[in-house]
């Protein structure tokens, strides 16, 4: 990758993983690295920037998707997909470099932890998966209709899709909505299929009668189960940071 | 009695049990069921004491016919008593689970009427969950000492994890404080369960019911009786090696009853509990033996230094260790290098030799490690003397600096003060 051409252009794309893989395809075939990559929603136009909009091409993205696993390794695909969900601004360019270098070096790319973009990609992956794991526990459903459950979340990273899959496996017969309030995204599941939609104009539903009962039971349990002789709010806060409290029934008094 | 009152009474009675882990089960869901196991375990909340809440941890009943001295539920105490019905417990579990409050149920009970009757109630509850609600989430059940083997068998096929708490780490203490329980009544079902788990694993029949797939655990109370750390650790080691236990939990004794045979402690010995967890960890994942960490001349752990630092100082002739050549288990013996760090080092040094700069880039914490290692034959910058007293003085100085109010019982040198944190997560973060 060291002898590739560097161009002073920012690539703009639609923000989807397919869109990103399309860029990877173009960059790798032309051996030209852009200065920056940015999703169109996040891009703030700047008088000095040269930009190029890259249209998502599913044919290309599919080839890259398959190619990563075949020519680098499964771990590389796993790393890039999860890092892609990160909220870091320069995630795209780092994953791009990681993949391009990976195509040249093969699986040994993952050992090169002292290389800055490899390290970056791996730590983004870790942070994303960590938050996802955390929310698998911290998410709270409320029953808004018979067998329809609603949960609001405020995650740092865009983890609604892996999170949704976790709950489909766990509660396959329960209809549910997971609402990412930062991104205005909703994961809807109707017992068979799911979709992710924009929720800017959604009304937040009210909950059922029996719901109140279980919330109170849960709060009572939560209060009782702590041993007062061992009180340790610092430890509690460390595992359950304040930023998640607004969606936690037991932390709202 | 209202369900809310029952829940409050029976959660209050259950809270002293340290175990809360929901890991180790891969139980799959089916299309009509509810719930699945997560192998790594999931924590759902953290209580005001910093312990993770993963399971609905309750007693079925606290109306005990026994009178164990240390226990809040003993028959001679005048406390509020309550007993659930199997249906009530099942409904609570399902409704909490659907709202993602919990990972499953941890059901224990005081002995009501007789050990067998109590066991039958527990089985009935679990049967409703598994068969009527088709619940495939995590269930951890206490076995009641003194109940029939056939009942243990029945329960074992339904749950993910089983436990019998030994509570008191020696026969004498047991006689003194829990006169109605017998050691045999505790150890016998433990080895029975352990054997059955082994046999079940050997059985290649795909359709057999699983038997306690997440293994069995136990709990020891720390500080109610005079046993040394060495004695306790040896007991745990035996339980891991001989009975294949998944976990031994340590629970700092909290004075709930007045009794001439019990010490009056102003606060639970949390630091001691923490040291035992650290040592337990070293035994299970780092290849240490109880004998290496403690011996008759040092039967108890140190207040300031963690067990690994203490061990390293006592065995200073094994150090320094060269980062670029040491094997995995040798790296693990360096204070400050844990499983994750050791793996990172091994992986990174395949491409080139490492020096201190690169170790930092890998995110290896140098605070303790720097005294015990060399990189390409060189010591760390500021470590100009390699001898025991120099290192010891520095380590102790450092530890004291990091404790703001010198309140040793409250400190958390190890970020896993809470015994309830999930194994795997611990594995990821616990570097000693
Ligand atoms: S049998 Fe269990 S519940 Fe009953 S007094 Fe003894 S320890 Fe407590």
Q: For A32-84, how does the pLDDT look when each residue is reduced to its tens digit (9 = 90+)?
A: 999 999 999 888 888 888 899 999 999 999 999 999 999 999 999 999 999 99
Burial annotation B222-233 (CB, 10 A radius, 16+ → b, else e): bbbbebebbbbb
* Distance separating alpha carbons of residues B105 and A222, to the nearest angstrom: 14
Query: Does the model's ipTM exceed the 0.85 cut?
Result: yes
* Distance separating alpha carbons of residues A178 and A174, to the nearest angstrom: 12
Q: For B202-238, write each residue's pLDDT tens digit.
A: 887 777 778 998 899 998 989 888 899 999 999 999 9
Ligand 1 site, residue B196, Cβ cutoff 6 A: no
Q: For A167-222, write each residue's pLDDT tens digit.
A: 999 999 999 999 999 999 999 999 899 999 988 877 777 888 889 999 999 999 99
Q: Residue B15 is nearest to which of A220, A227, A232, comparing CB atoms?
A: A227
* Distance separating alpha carbons of residues A135 and B70, to the nearest angstrom: 38
CB burial of residue B162 (10 Å; 0-12, 13-18, 19+): buried
Average pLDDT, chain B: 84
The whole domain housing B106 covers 3-255+267-293
Contact, A4 vs A35, CB < 8 A? no
* Band of pLDDT at residue B181, cut at 50, 70 and 90: confident
* Band of pLDDT at residue B418, cut at 50, 70 and 90: very low
Cis before B16 (ω within 30)? no
Separation in Å, CA of A176 to nearest CA in chain B: 10
* Band of pLDDT at residue A27, cut at 50, 70 and 90: very high
* Band of pLDDT at residue B109, cut at 50, 70 and 90: very high
In a domain, B206, yes or no: yes
Kindly state the percentage of chain B with pLDDT values over 70.
Answer: 91
Q: Residue A137 is nearest to which of B7, B12, B43, comparing CB atoms?
A: B43
CB pair distance less than 8 Å for A236 and B32:
no
- What's the whole-model pTM score? 0.84
pLDDT of residue B420: 30
Task: Determine the residue of B110, B221, B254, B257 to mutate for testing ligand 1's pocket, defined as the one with the most ligand atoms within 8 A of the Cβ atom.
Answer: B110
Tell whether A201 is within 8 A of chain B (Cβ): no
Separation in Å, CA of B255 to nearest CA in chain A: 10
Structural domains of chain B, count: 2
Tell whether A137 is within 8 A of chain B (Cβ): yes
* Distance separating alpha carbons of residues B307 and B293, to the nearest angstrom: 7
Q: What mean pLDDT do residues A223-246 have?
A: 85
* Distance separating alpha carbons of residues B212 and B202, to the nearest angstrom: 14
Q: Among residues A234, A247, A217, A222, which one has the least CA distance to residue A155?
A: A247
B212 and B312 co-located in one domain = no
pLDDT of residue A136: 94
CB pair distance less than 8 Å for A111 and B350:
yes
Which residues of chain A have a CB within 8 Å of the CB of B11? 220-221, 224-225
Which residues of chain B have a CB within 8 Å of the CB of A151? 100
Closest residue in B to A149 (Cα–Cα)? B99
B233 and B379 co-located in one domain = no
Per the model's pLDDT, the better-predicted residue between B21 and A154 turns out to be: A154
pLDDT of residue B426: 31
| Residues constituting chain A | 253
B349 and B289 co-located in one domain = no
Token pair in block for residue A125: 């992956």
Does B167 have pLDDT greater than 50? Answer: yes
CA B7 to chain centre: 25
* Band of pLDDT at residue B342, cut at 50, 70 and 90: very high
Which residues of chain A have a CB within 8 Å of the CB of B343? none
A/B interface, count of CB pairs below 8 Å: 157
Radius of gyration of chain B (CA): 23
In a domain, B302, yes or no: no
B271 and B325 co-located in one domain = no
Which residues of chain A have a CB within 8 Å of the CB of B409? none
Ligand 1 site, residue B14, Cβ cutoff 6 A: no
Ligand 1 site, residue B94, Cβ cutoff 6 A: no
pLDDT of residue A29: 92
B325 and B275 co-located in one domain = no
Separation in Å, CA of A201 to nearest CA in chain B: 25
B170 and B219 co-located in one domain = yes
Q: For B111-132, write each residue's pLDDT tens digit.
A: 999 999 999 999 999 999 999 9
pLDDT of residue B384: 63
* Distance separating alpha carbons of residues B86 and B127, to the nearest angstrom: 9
Does A240 have pLDDT greater than 70? Answer: yes
Ligand 1 site, residue B71, Cβ cutoff 6 A: yes
In a domain, B394, yes or no: yes
pLDDT of residue B101: 94
Token pair in block for residue B137: 């989430």
In a domain, B410, yes or no: no
Q: What mean pLDDT do residues B378-396 have?
A: 76
- The single residue listed with the structure tokens 């891009």 is A43
Q: Residue A232 is nearest to which of B35, B50, B350, comparing CB atoms?
A: B50
* 3-state DSSP of chain A: CCCCEECCEEEEECCCHHHHHHHHHHHHHHCEECCEEEECCCCCCCCCCEEEECCCCHHHHHHHHHHHHHHHCHHHHHHHHHHHCCCCCCHHHHHHHHHHHHHHHHHHHHHCCCCHHHHHHHHHHHHHHHHHHHHHHHCCCEEEECCEEEEEECCCCCCHHHHHHHHHHHCCCCEEEEEECCCCEEEEECCCCEEEEECCCCCCCCCCHHHHHHHHHHHHHHHHHCCHHHCCHHHHHHHCCHHHHHHCHHHCC
pLDDT of residue B424: 30
* Distance separating alpha carbons of residues B275 and B199, to the nearest angstrom: 35
Q: Which of residues 79-118 of A touch B (CB under 8 A)?
A: 108, 111-114
Ligand 1 site, residue B276, Cβ cutoff 6 A: no
pLDDT of residue B403: 52
Q: What mean pLDDT do residues B410-418 have?
A: 34
* Band of pLDDT at residue B62, cut at 50, 70 and 90: very high
What spatial distance separates the first Cα and last Cα of chain B, rounded to whole Å?
A: 49
pLDDT of residue B430: 30
Q: Residue B52 is nearest to which of A233, A239, A249, comparing CB atoms?
A: A239
B123 and B251 co-located in one domain = yes
Per the model's pLDDT, the better-predicted residue between B96 and B430 turns out to be: B96
Question: Three-class SS of residue B190?
Answer: helix
CATH number, domain containing residue B281: 3.20.20.70
Token pair in block for residue B266: 């102003």
Instruction: Write the CA distances from B255 to B166, B221, B249, B325, B350, integer angstroms.
Output: 18, 11, 18, 50, 54
Ligand 1 site, residue B152, Cβ cutoff 6 A: no
Q: Among residues A110, A120, A112, which one has the least CA distance to residue A90?
A: A120
Contact, B251 vs B16, CB < 8 A? yes
B109 and B195 co-located in one domain = yes
Ligand 1 site, residue B73, Cβ cutoff 6 A: yes
Q: What mean pLDDT do residues B9-16 have?
A: 88
Q: Among residues B114, B173, B106, which one has the least CA distance to residue B145?
A: B114
Instruction: Write the CA distances from B164 to B142, B194, B212, B271, B281, integer angstroms.
Output: 6, 12, 13, 25, 21
Burial annotation B136-159 (CB, 10 A radius, 16+ → b, else e): bbbbbbbbbbbbeeebbebbbbbb
Which residues of chain A have a CB within 8 Å of the CB of B38? 136
B10 and B131 co-located in one domain = yes
Q: Which contiguous run of DSSP H or E holds residue B13?
A: helix B3-14
* Distance separating alpha carbons of residues B141 and B418, to the nearest angstrom: 21
Q: What angle do CA B29, B32, B37 make, to 5 degrees?
A: 15
pLDDT of residue B402: 62
Does B422 have pLDDT greater than 70? Answer: no
B313 and B218 co-located in one domain = no
Ligand 1 midpoint to CA B182 (Å): 13
* Distance separating alpha carbons of residues B342 and B355, to the nearest angstrom: 15
Looking at ligand 1, which residue's alpha carbon is closest to its atom 3?
Answer: B110
In a domain, B321, yes or no: yes
């Amino acid at each position: 990758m060291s002898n590739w051409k560097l161009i002073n252009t920012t690539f703009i794309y639609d923000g989807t993983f397919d869109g990103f893989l399309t860029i990877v395809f173009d960059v790798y075939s032309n051996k030209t690295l852009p200065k920056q990559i940015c999703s169109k929603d996040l891009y703030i136009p700047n008088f000095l920037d040269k930009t190029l909009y890259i249209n998502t091409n599913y044919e290309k993205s599919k080839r890259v998707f398959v190619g990563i696993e075949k020519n680098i390794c499964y771990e590389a695909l796993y790393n890039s997909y999860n890092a892609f969900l990160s909220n870091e601004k320069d995630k795209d360019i780092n994953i791009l470099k990681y993949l391009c270098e990976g195509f040249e070096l093969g699986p040994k790319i993952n050992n090169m932890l002292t290389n800055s973009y490899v390290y970056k990609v791996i730590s983004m992956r870790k942070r994303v998966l960590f938050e996802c794991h955390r929310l698998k526990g911290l998410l709270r459903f409320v029953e808004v209709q018979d067998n329809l459950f609603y949960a609001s979340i405020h995650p740092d990273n865009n983890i609604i899709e892996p999170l949704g899959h976790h709950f489909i496996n766990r509660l396959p017969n329960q209809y549910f909505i997971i609402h990412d309030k930062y991104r205005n995204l909703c994961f809807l599941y109707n017992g068979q299929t799911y979709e992710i939609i924009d929720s800017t104009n959604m009304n937040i539903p009210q909950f059922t009668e029996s719901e109140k009962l279980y919330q109170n039971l849960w709060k009572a349990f939560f209060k009782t189960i702590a041993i007062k002789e061992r009180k340790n709010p610092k430890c509690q806060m460390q595992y359950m940071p304040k930023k998640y409290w607004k969606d936690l029934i037991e932390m709202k008094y | 009695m209202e369900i809310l009152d029952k829940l409050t009474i029976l959660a209050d009675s259950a809270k002293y049990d340290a175990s809360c882990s929901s890991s180790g089960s891969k139980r799959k869901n089916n299309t009509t069921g509810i719930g699945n196991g997560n192998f790594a375990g999931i924590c759902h909340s953290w209580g005001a004491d910093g312990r993770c809440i993963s399971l609905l941890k309750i007693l079925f009943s606290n109306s005990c016919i026994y009178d164990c001295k240390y226990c809040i539920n003993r028959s001679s105490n005048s406390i509020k008593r309550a007993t659930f019905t199997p249906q009530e417990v099942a409904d609570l579990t399902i409704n909490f689970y659907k709202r993602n409050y919990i990972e499953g149920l941890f059901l224990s009970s005081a002995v009501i009427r007789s050990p067998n009757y109590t066991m039958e109630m527990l089985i009935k509850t679990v049967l409703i969950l598994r068969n009527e609600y088709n619940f495939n989430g995590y269930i951890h059940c206490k076995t009641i000492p003194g109940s029939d083997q056939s009942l243990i068998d029945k329960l074992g096929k339904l749950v993910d994890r089983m436990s019998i708490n030994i509570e008191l780490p020696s026969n004498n203490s047991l006689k003194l404080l829990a006169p109605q329980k017998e050691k045999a009544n505790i150890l016998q079902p433990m080895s029975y369960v352990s054997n059955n788990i082994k046999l079940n694993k050997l059985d290649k029949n795909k359709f057999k019911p699983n038997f306690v797939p997440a293994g069995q655990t136990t709990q020891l109370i720390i500080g109610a009786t005079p046993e040394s750390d060495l004695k306790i650790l040896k007991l745990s080691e035996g339980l891991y090696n001989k009975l294949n236990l998944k976990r031994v939990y340590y629970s700092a004794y909290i004075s709930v009853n007045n009794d001439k045979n019990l010490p009056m402690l102003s606060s639970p010995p949390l630091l001691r509990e923490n040291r035992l967890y650290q040592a337990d960890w070293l035994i299970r994942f780092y290849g240490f033996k109880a004998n290496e960490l403690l011996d008759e001349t040092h039967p108890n752990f140190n207040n300031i230094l963690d067990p690994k630092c203490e061990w390293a100082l006592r065995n200073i002739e094994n150090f320094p260790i060269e980062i670029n050549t040491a094997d995995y288990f040798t790296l693990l013996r360096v204070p400050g290098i844990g499983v994750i760090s050791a793996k990172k080092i091994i992986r990174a040094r395949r491409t080139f030799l490492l020096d201190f700069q690169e170790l930092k880039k890998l995110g290896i914490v140098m605070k303790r490690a720097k005294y015990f290692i060399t990189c390409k034959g060189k010591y760390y910058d500021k470590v100009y003397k390699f001898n025991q007293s120099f290192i010891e003085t520095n380590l102790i100085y450092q530890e004291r600096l990091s404790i703001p109010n010198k309140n040793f019982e409250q400190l958390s040198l190890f970020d896993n003060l809470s015994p309830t944190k999930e194994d795997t997560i611990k594995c990821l973060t616990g570097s000693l």
